[in-house]
Each structure stands twice: as structure tokens, then as C-alpha cells.
Structure 1
Amino acid sequence: MRERVGVYPGTFDPVTNGHLDVIQRAARLLDRLAVGVAINAGKGPVFPLEERVELVRAETAPIAAATGCAISVVPFEGLLVTFAREQGAEMIVRGLRAVSDFDYEYQMAGMNHRLDPGVETVFLTASETNQFISSRFVKEIARLGGDISSFVPQLTLERTLARVRDQAGE
């Protein structure tokens, strides 16, 4: 039987409970999952790439242990289908929070399929408790002094609050 390999790409700035929900659900479907942390400096990330990779690794380790899925966390730049090929993946996992996400994701899936018909895109809808969470909102709430503890895991919470405090002091 062939190994089922997928990639789950994102900026993960910061990694949220919504991301982890999708990763956990994908891990139940796959033998190996490469979480691709996009370099994407154009988004102006709060966390440097190395720290985003470190946080995603720390937060996904319990998922790997619980599911038996081998989860790797890999920085990447460039085309997603190229990254998928490099990882030996035949599946791109994308999370959908709301109907508004679908149009963009549908177009992206079509383009990726045209670039590499051997890589399928699979959409996992966010669970109802995580549908509204986005990294952008988490950062904005944290900057404005709001409580983000229900949106991110503990280690990410601590690092995000420290990062926001550091940036406010600059």
C-alpha cells in the first residue's frame, strides 16, 4: 500500500487553534504531513521564519504523537506544487473557514491542478469553534490588548504576547 502524503501550507504568523484543528484532522487521513511554513515576507510577519517553524513544530508534536502521522515542519518559498513534489506529496490540504475563503481557494486549486495534475487539493472545513479565527485578527487583538487565549495554544500565546510587547516598546 502506498504511503499517503500531504502538505499543509501557510504563513502561521502565529499558528492558531484553527490551523491545529486542520492539521489534526489531516493527520488522521495521512501517513505523512509536511506543514509548509511560507517565507512570504510580503505579508510582513510578526515572527521571523525560524520562530514560526519552531512554534509550529512544538504545537504539532502532540498531534503527531496522538495520531501516528509523521508530521514535519518545513520552511518553503516558491510554488506550492513544487514544494508538494519535493515532499513526495499527492495532496495539498487547505482549510476553509467561511464561504468567502472558497472562491480564492477554488481558483488556487484550479491553478495548482493545471501546474501539476498529479497533486490533488483537499478542503477541510474548520470546526465550528474555529471558523472565525485568523492569524491577522489574533495579532490585531493582541496589539490592542485583548485576550487571545482561546485562539492560540499556550506556547504561542506566550510568544505572541511577548512579541507584541517588544514591538510596542520599539
Structure 2
Amino acid sequence: MADEEKTETGEGAAAPKKGKLKLIIAVVGFLVVLGAGAGGWFFFMRGHGEEQHAEAPPPKPPAFVDVPDLMVNLAGSPGERVQYLRLKIVLELKEEKQIEAIKPTMPRVTDIFQTYVRELRPSDLNGSAGIFRLKEELTKRVNAAVAPIQVSAVLFKEVVVQ
């Protein structure tokens, strides 16, 4: 009989431990699901309401300034046929009010462009890579010439090598 009581008490004690373990696992699982839901809301839903109220102002359109047309002879080896380069250039500025500030410096810009372009050889202008290098170099030089004003880009309307 003593053996039967021990067996019953041993089994009785094991049953409540399994019940507590299942309860703990269920509570931890519930907390994990709750935490995942809160994290999902935090990352995906928080801030959607704020975006509707704050609209960015529309960007200002760029301003353009024409540079007087350039026609120069390209540097070549003695005895070669003389080749000419004709350029029609437009400067892209960020704001309309910069146009009036840049107009007095146009003779300086033209001089810098002519000085640089006269040193080019016809092989320097071959392909799109040559034109891209020319554009980048002219942009760098015009920004140095009109220092407080920033020119966004030098745009070509026409490039003719004769």
C-alpha cells in the first residue's frame, strides 16, 4: 500500500508540472505573437498619417542662359587639313534670378571657353566619351569663372566638326 501511495503521489506531482509547462509555453507564445504584431505596426504603419499632411513644395524649374556661338579652329599637326569646331552652348542654372547675375560675366565665360576649345584636337572629340569630357571640363571652367553662382550643367545645342 505504501508503494501505491508513492506511485499515485509521484504521478500526481508530475501532472501539475506538465500543466504549468504548457501554460508557460502558451504565455510565451502569446507574448511573441503580440510583440511581432507591435513591431510590424511600428515599422509599417507608424508615420503613414504624417505623410498625408506634409507635402513637399514643387521643385523650381531650372533657368537657361545662351552663350554666344563659338567657332574655332582645332589644333592639328603641321601639314594636316585645318578643322573647325562650331558650338552652340546653353548654361543651366538653378534659379531664374541667377540669370541677371551671370550676364555681366558672359565675356569672361566666352573667353574661357574659346581658350580651352582652341587647344583641342579632333581626336579629343571622338565619340560620346569625348563630348562628355568636353561638357564636364566646360562646366568646371564656367563654375570657376562665375564663382559665387553655381552652374548646374553645360548643355550643347549643336556640336559640328568640319
TM-score grouping bracket, smaller chain normalisation: under 0.3
Larger Rg: 2
What TM-score do the two structures reach when normalised by structure 2? 0.24
What TM-score do the two structures reach when normalised by structure 1? 0.23
Structure with the largest fraction of helix: 2
Higher relative contact order (CA 8 A, sep 6+): 1
